[in-house]
Amino acid sequence: MFVVRWDCFSFALVFAVSFILSRAEVCNGGRTSSFVRNDQLSNDMPLDSDVFQVPPGYNAPQQVHITQGDHLGKGVIISWITQDEPGSSLVLYRAENSELKSSAEGIVLTYKYFNYTSGYIHHCTIRDLESDTKYYYEVGIGNTSRQFWFITPPEVGPDVAYTFGLVGDLGQTHDSNRTLTHYELNPAKGQTLLFVGDLSYADAYPFHDNSRWDTWGRFIERNAAYQPWIWTAGNHEIDFLPDIGEVIPFKPYVHRYHVPYKASGSTSPFWYSIKRASAYIIVMSSYSAYGKYTPQYKWLEKEFPKVNRTETPWLIVLMHCPFYSSYVHHYMEGESMRVMYEPWFVEYMVDVVFAGHVHAYERSERISNIAYNVVNGLCTPIRDPSAPVYITIGDGGNLEGLVTEMTEPQPSYSAYREASFGHGILDIKNRTHAHFSWHRNQDGYAVEADSLLLHNRYWTVSEESAVAGM
């Protein structure tokens, strides 16, 4: 616990600094990067690449990855695949400061997709972990067991600092490998990765070759086995192919990537929420029914009012298809969802919305278009201090390449845009401020190609509104 003592000079100084920063935030608009990039398509890495290697030993666990396992961050879902036989679904784990091992038993499942049969997919949830603690965990049997580790987040609280990474539309090309390497070597050191959809791009292959789900799982293991990846489903996870008898959407995705959706009262793994440190993260599904009275709508209608901003000040939304984008490809695909949910984003003062889908980077001003009702002609987004910043970060590096064609002139709501591959870092400082940075692959690891100091909507918007009205 700490006590802050204010005097008149301190308050005036902080107010002046906040005014300057808030002005910088809303006035830095309308820039298109002049960075010249290689926009040639990148092929998927060959199957014999070292990043796809199967771990040695009979039935050795592979494709190990973790995600949050409950609503509060005290649980972890550990997932892996054994190729030859089911083996054991047991996870042994211990805290770094203890020699006492605990165990948890998971489940195992398989699926078939056209002429492909999966390996044995294991999911094990560990609960009631200590906060801010390093844990070692072990999966597999005997000589082929493998050990990894993770660090649990601090207790949920309003001034808990925490750093998130942002990646979307990753795939498994040479550019994908550069993106993941760049993220891993970033000095900011993301502690949890928020993934905004489009994972393996296995659907780019004939019959949606599901062996490319396996190569992707082995590719990301080097990071996803050690820090949670928070999953969002994209269009490349749909895998709906009735011509070959595959009529169940998202089949590979839901079998391989489990999320703690029931912990937030959701009825589907495609929309759910978690708390982590000082953030409340809501995951939405762009490719599930979202109209009025649908299950997703009814869940979101109850979810937004539940967020306690005195406990988790930062309200973050993840989705795949962006509401605002000034790129030609996928232009306005998110418009019907925007009409449905943007009023809630403004009402509940969402701080930032991260999306993918468009294979480029773009950051918006704080704007809204909730006044538009088709007949009133108010169709131009306006500055709105209660609105989120919208960030498109679908620039992971997949085989479809970059989207380079942009609408001209650049809309006033678009603050910065660039067609390059990269990743983002959201560094939450306290309840009032966070720093977002975007890092293009071609730069040094510490270089910020674009950045923004974010002012929390709940804790600072009233002050900014008062300043704006002066």
User: In the predicted model, what is the mean pLDDT of the chain?
Assistant: 92
What is the structure's pLDDT at 372? 86
What is the structure's pLDDT at 26? 37
Beta bridge partners of 93: 102, 137
What is the structure's pLDDT at 21? 38
Low-confidence residues in the chain, pLDDT < 50: 1-29, 463-470
For the chain, the residue count is: 470
What residue type is assigned to position 18 of the chain? S
Q: Render the burial of 398-430: b for 16+ CB within 10 Å, e for the rest.
A: bbbbbbeebeeebbebbbbbbbbbbbbbbbbbe
What is the structure's pLDDT at 466? 38
Kindly compute the dihedral angle of the four CA atoms of residues 103, 260, 166, 280, in this order, to the nearest 10 degrees.
Answer: -110
- Is the Cβ–Cβ distance between 169 and 398 less than 8 Å? yes
Number of C-beta neighbours around residue 19 at 10 A:
15
Beta bridge partners of 124: 78
CA-based angle 212:215:217, to the nearest 5? 110
Q: Provide CATH code, domain 156-197+270-468.
A: 3.60.21.10
What is the structure's pLDDT at 141? 94
Catalytic residue, candidates 174, 255, 329, 330: 330
Number of C-beta neighbours around residue 85 at 10 A:
9
Give the DSSP H or E segment for 315.
strand 314-318
- Is the Cβ–Cβ distance between 425 and 188 less than 8 Å? yes
In angstroms, what CA-CA distances link 55 with 83, 99, 119, 138, 195? Answer: 11, 26, 14, 14, 25
State the alpha helices, DSSP H only, in 260-417.
Answer: 295-306, 335-347
What distance in Å separates the CA atoms of residue 363 and residue 114, rounded to the nearest whole number? Answer: 40
What distance in Å separates the CA atoms of residue 74 and residue 434, rounded to the nearest whole number? Answer: 23
With a CB cutoff of 8 Å and minimum separation 6, the contacts of 401 are 39, 40, 41, 42, 359
What is the structure's pLDDT at 140? 97
| Strand extents, DSSP E, 152-271 | 162-167, 192-195, 229-230
- Is the Cβ–Cβ distance between 259 and 269 less than 8 Å? yes
Task: Locate 370 and state its tokens.
Answer: 């909730």
DSSP state string for 41-71? --PBPPTT-GGGPPPSSTT--EEEEEEE-SS
Give the DSSP H or E segment for 82.
strand 76-82
What is the structure's pLDDT at 12? 42
Q: Where along the chain do its domains lie?
A: 156-197+270-468
| Strand extents, DSSP E, 96-180 | 102-105, 107-109, 112-113, 116-117, 120-126, 134-139, 146-151, 162-167
What is the structure's pLDDT at 177? 98
Q: Is 182 among the catalytic positions?
A: no
Biggest distance spanned by C-alpha atoms of the chain: 73
pTM of the model: 0.92
